[in-house]
Chains A and B, each alone.
Chain A
Amino acid sequence: MESKLQIDKLQIGYVSKKHTTIVYENISVSFTSGMLVGIIGKNGLGKSTLLRTIAGLQDKLQGEINFDGHSLEQLSKQELAKMIAVVLTEKVGGFNLTVTDLVSMGRVPYTNAFNQLKEEDGRIIDECISICGLNEHKLKSVNELSDGLFQKAMIAKGLAQQTTILLLDEPTAYLDFPSKHQLFELLNKVSVEEKKCIITSSHDIELVLKYASHLLIMSENNELEFIEASKYKGSELFKKVTNGYFG
């Protein structure tokens, strides 16, 4: 089953009482399941704003976001939570939260009013923990995890949400090099094997080139290009954004 996330002439930014700040505009692109998309571009261009807008965490200014023909703003928060999972840059932890507790949060959109986990939920949670290689860390407190393991736990939570789309905001930011590799390997595996559409922003361009299937390139002049990752050499914008470093 092929799912499609269609973005049309999207304008993103912030609204306050006095003025509207447009961060980026005229974004038209469509993503399908099985893609691993790397969003690249300098800090402050609006990569996070774009991800947050798609996730419904902030309002778009103009344009359309459609998922399999449903306009996203027509969906309730809970319906949206069954379609899109996010991994943000903020830390979660404390209050005795263990890895299993964290991953269980992914089942929240599906549980009853008392958040009771059924057998099926337990099975899904275990499976997501094992896909992300966290079996040994299941009962560890989230506060004790290294940055790399924490990101994996957050991805496991996202998987437990059983959405078609997984959005990640710079998941490799604080990781050491081997962990960055592992993380992208995991994302690649999940996008291929679980047929998910994964969209992640990242500054680790060499890793994005190695593992991602597609690139969404953003620039200061509001230029936008969506290409297959293997064809990066033909892109002028890619050359410009990376200062020609990759040839």
Chain B
Amino acid sequence: MKGSVKHIFILFGILIIAFSLNVILAGSSVLKPGEINFDDYIFRNIRLSKALTALLCGISLPIAGQILQVLFRNPLAGPYVLGISSASSLFVGIAIMALNGFGVMGYVFFSKTSIILAAFAGSLFCTFLILFVAKKVNSNVFLLLIGLMFGQIFNALESFVEYFSTDKGLREFVMWSFGSLGNSSYTDIAIFSVIGIILIITLFMLTKPFQVFLMGQNYANALGIDFAKYRMYFIIISSLLTALATAFCGPIAFVGLSIPIMTRLIYKTSDQKFQLAACLLLGGITMLVCDTLCYTILPDRVIPINVITTLFGSPFIIYLLFKTRNW
């Protein structure tokens, strides 16, 4: 137990360093010491807000992923599975195309708010579909397959909408789907962090049933844990976290699926309190580092965040998987 507290402190230290480096480096120029104060426009409204968004996104997606992987006792599960991300994308697609099609006045303002609302609506819609199905079915594998099918349907509908969209709408949607951390205002960040923190605290209060979920449905019930009830709670928490991240940053690939796998491979503990804490910290670090890389790899060019998270993260996971055969 003492060892795990030490690991958490180390991760926390790295997180602070990653955060500082991100603020200083991730932008069009390296910040000079004089520019690091709250009166400086670039520091406050561009660098700091982007770093906070990266942090929130990096915290919420891996937690959502860890929940789904434990729920389905399957490391393949992530926010993309169950169709939740796809539903968000579809709704955002519809919103963007519709706004473009109708040429709404005050377009800039509307598009931002409507994207967030649409992503949220999509996530919730899919979550309620899943919950509805979950009430009817007992088997987790069955639920997973149905989630995958929902995802396929949403993807198909998305292509359908894209096909009939205007050039401008399509372009905007594609840009959104690359994922972006730089679009959040402080109001956005406040909403994101308040809801996110409430969800994560709730989850930490439920670590006992969460731990027992490792045993699967029957054993959980036989150990006095009401599986159906807690499954509901966990699906809701995971979907809302996914919804938040997708709404504010676009569909961010990779971190939701991979960070939980990484923490399991690195720390080799089944203690879910620790695993969740490690996911949250390592997720934050990863997003901050990836965002820094986006700005620093090519001079005068910014690479989309999803390209970096996937290109750098996946080989690392493959390496870990080969190194640790017994996972």
Residues of A within 8 A of B (CB): 55-57, 76-82, 84-86, 88, 90, 92, 94-98, 101, 105-106, 108-109, 111, 113-115, 141, 143-144, 161
A76: B residues at CB distance < 8 A: 224
Instruction: Give Cα distance in the complex from A81 to B227, angstroms.
Output: 14
The answer to whether A115 and B264 have CB atoms under 8 Å apart is: no
Q: What residue in chain A is nearest B272 (Cβ atoms)?
A: A95
The answer to whether B219 and A92 have CB atoms under 8 Å apart is: yes
Task: Name the interface residues of B130-175: CB closer than 8 Å to any CB of A.
Answer: none
A108: B residues at CB distance < 8 A: 208, 211-212, 223-225
A92: B residues at CB distance < 8 A: 214-216, 219
A-B contact pairs, 17 of them (CB 8 A): A56-B221, A77-B221, A81-B224, A88-B218, A88-B219, A90-B219, A92-B215, A94-B75, A95-B70, A96-B267, A96-B269, A96-B327, A105-B214, A105-B215, A106-B223, A109-B223, A161-B223
Task: Name the interface residues of B61-83: CB closer than 8 Å to any CB of A.
Answer: 70, 73, 75
A168 to chain B, nearest CB (A): 12
Q: Does B222 contact A (CB under 8 A)?
A: yes
The answer to whether A115 and B207 have CB atoms under 8 Å apart is: yes
Instruction: Give Cα distance in the complex from A109 to B220, angstroms.
Output: 10
The answer to whether B224 and A141 have CB atoms under 8 Å apart is: no
Q: State the main secondary structure of chain B at its contact with A.
A: helix
Instruction: Give Cα distance in the complex from A176 to B224, angstroms.
Output: 33
Task: Name the interface residues of B202-249: CB closer than 8 Å to any CB of A.
Answer: 205, 207-208, 211-212, 214-216, 218-219, 221-226
Q: A111-B208, A115-B211 are in contact. Are A105 and B219 (CB under 8 A)?
A: yes
The answer to whether A57 and B270 have CB atoms under 8 Å apart is: no
A111: B residues at CB distance < 8 A: 208
Instruction: Give Cα distance in the complex from A84 to B221, angstroms.
Output: 11
Instruction: Give Cα distance in the complex from A60 to B55, angstroms.
Output: 50
B133 to chain A, nearest CB (A): 16
Q: A95-B264, A96-B269, A96-B270 are in contact. Are A77 and B225 (CB under 8 A)?
A: yes
Q: A77-B226, A109-B224 are in contact. Are A96 and B264 (CB under 8 A)?
A: yes
Q: Does B268 contact A (CB under 8 A)?
A: yes
A105: B residues at CB distance < 8 A: 212, 214-215, 219, 223
B215: A residues at CB distance < 8 A: 92, 105
A84: B residues at CB distance < 8 A: 222
The answer to whether A57 and B218 have CB atoms under 8 Å apart is: yes
B205: A residues at CB distance < 8 A: 113
Q: Does B326 contact A (CB under 8 A)?
A: yes
A55: B residues at CB distance < 8 A: 222
Q: Which of B208, B226, B268, B273 contacts A96 (CB 8 A)?
A: B268
Q: State the main secondary structure of chain A at its contact with B.
A: loop
The answer to whether A115 and B208 have CB atoms under 8 Å apart is: yes
B224: A residues at CB distance < 8 A: 76-82, 108-109
Instruction: Give Cα distance in the complex from A88 to B220, angstroms.
Output: 12
Which range holds the interface residue count of chain B?
20 to 34
B264: A residues at CB distance < 8 A: 95-96
The answer to whether A114 and B326 have CB atoms under 8 Å apart is: no
A98: B residues at CB distance < 8 A: 270
Instruction: Give Cα distance in the complex from A144 to B273, angstroms.
Output: 24
Instruction: Give Cα distance in the complex from A207 to B312, angstroms.
Output: 56
**What 8 pairs across the A-B complex have the smallest Cβ distances?**
A81-B224, A78-B224, A115-B208, A96-B270, A77-B224, A108-B223, A97-B270, A109-B224
The answer to whether A57 and B212 have CB atoms under 8 Å apart is: no
Q: What residue in chain B is nearest A86 (Cβ atoms)?
A: B222
Q: What residue in chain B is nearest A106 (Cβ atoms)?
A: B223
B267: A residues at CB distance < 8 A: 96
Additional pairs, 15, CB under 8 Å, beyond known A56-B221, A77-B226: A57-B222, A77-B221, A78-B224, A81-B224, A82-B224, A90-B219, A92-B214, A94-B75, A94-B327, A95-B270, A96-B267, A98-B270, A105-B215, A106-B223, A108-B225
Instruction: Give Cα distance in the complex from A204 to B72, angstroms.
Output: 33
Instruction: Give Cα distance in the complex from A82 to B212, angstroms.
Output: 15
Q: A115-B207, A144-B326 are in contact. Are A101 and B222 (CB under 8 A)?
A: no
* Chain B 170-198: CB-based contact to A (< 8 A → 1; otherwise 0): 00000000000000000000000000000
A188 to chain B, nearest CB (A): 23
The answer to whether A90 and B216 have CB atoms under 8 Å apart is: yes
Q: A88-B218, A88-B219, A92-B215 are in contact. Are A113 and B208 (CB under 8 A)?
A: yes
Q: A96-B270, A108-B225 are in contact. Are A114 and B219 (CB under 8 A)?
A: no
The answer to whether A95 and B207 have CB atoms under 8 Å apart is: no
Instruction: Give Cα distance in the complex from A95 to B71, angstroms.
Output: 12
Q: A55-B222, A78-B224 are in contact. Are A114 and B216 (CB under 8 A)?
A: no
B273: A residues at CB distance < 8 A: 114
Instruction: Give Cα distance in the complex from A101 to B215, angstroms.
Output: 11
Instruction: Give Cα distance in the complex from A97 to B211, angstroms.
Output: 11
A99 to chain B, nearest CB (A): 11
* Chain B 273-314: CB-based contact to A (< 8 A → 1; otherwise 0): 100000000000000000000000000000000000000000
